[in-house]
């Protein structure tokens, strides 16, 4: 399983949010867009630094950086850059919502996020989900899943790692096998 919350980008030692905001502004100013400059800068900053750049951009230019990026970029590159500019909790919340909305469920996304986040991160995701969608994440998940898989997700959402371990130790291999098979088939 990927360790999605274990990124390798560390905060830049020589960081200036204002200078970086200026680089991004110049990369989008005039005809054409310097996509290389945008990519090089944003991938060399931590998410916290990218949030500071976003705030500085608004202060310096009176414009929303995300909207400007969306106006200049297209396709998967736009999707990537917008994802990089999104705080981790908000990004996870959006992925979970997209995984359960509409017909079908993207089980792999549910497991990837809920099983790899620390308890406080899960609590923060649940709170952000409630605020953004005015809905209960656990109810939305249980409305879209069933059986042992649903039980596992509820345990993860309740941040009850002890219960997960107890189920496994008691010989509830059925639960483990159900999850393993679902992941193997996805």
For 66-96, the pLDDT digits (tens) are: 999 999 999 999 999 999 999 999 999 999 9
Q: Which fold has domain 103-185?
A: Annexin V; domain 1 (1.10.220)
Q: Which fold has domain 17-84?
A: Annexin V; domain 1 (1.10.220)
Rounded distance, CA 46 to CA 172, Å? 40
Residues of the chain with CATH 1.10.220.10: 17-84, 103-185
pTM summary value: 0.74
Question: pLDDT tens for residues 115-161?
Answer: 888 888 999 999 999 999 999 999 999 998 999 889 889 988 987 55
User: What does each C-alpha distance from 5 to 79, 101, 138, 139 come to in angstroms?
Assistant: 19, 23, 21, 25
Q: Residues, the chain, total?
A: 186
């Amino acid at each position: 399983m990927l360790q999605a919350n274990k990124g390798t980008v560390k905060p830049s030692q020589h960081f200036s949010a204002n200078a970086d905001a200026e680089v991004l502004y110049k990369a989008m100013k005039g005809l054409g867009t310097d996509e290389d400059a945008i990519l090089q800068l944003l991938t060399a900053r931590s998410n916290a630094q990218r949030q500071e750049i976003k705030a500085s951009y608004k202060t310096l230019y009176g414009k929303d950086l995300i909207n400007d990026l969306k106006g200049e970029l297209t396709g998967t590159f736009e999707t990537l850059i917008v994802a990089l500019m999104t705080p981790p909790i908000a990004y996870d919340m959006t992925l979970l919502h997209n995984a359960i909305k509409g017909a079908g469920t993207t089980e792999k996304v549910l497991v990837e996020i809920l099983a790899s986040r620390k308890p406080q991160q899960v609590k923060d995701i649940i709170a952000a989900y409630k605020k953004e969608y005015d809905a209960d994440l656990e109810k939305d998940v249980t409305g879209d899943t069933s059986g042992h898989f649903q039980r596992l997700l509820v345990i993860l959402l309740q941040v009850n790692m002890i219960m997960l371990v107890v189920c496994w130790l008691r010989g509830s291999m059925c639960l483990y096998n159900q999850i393993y098979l679902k992941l193997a088939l996805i």
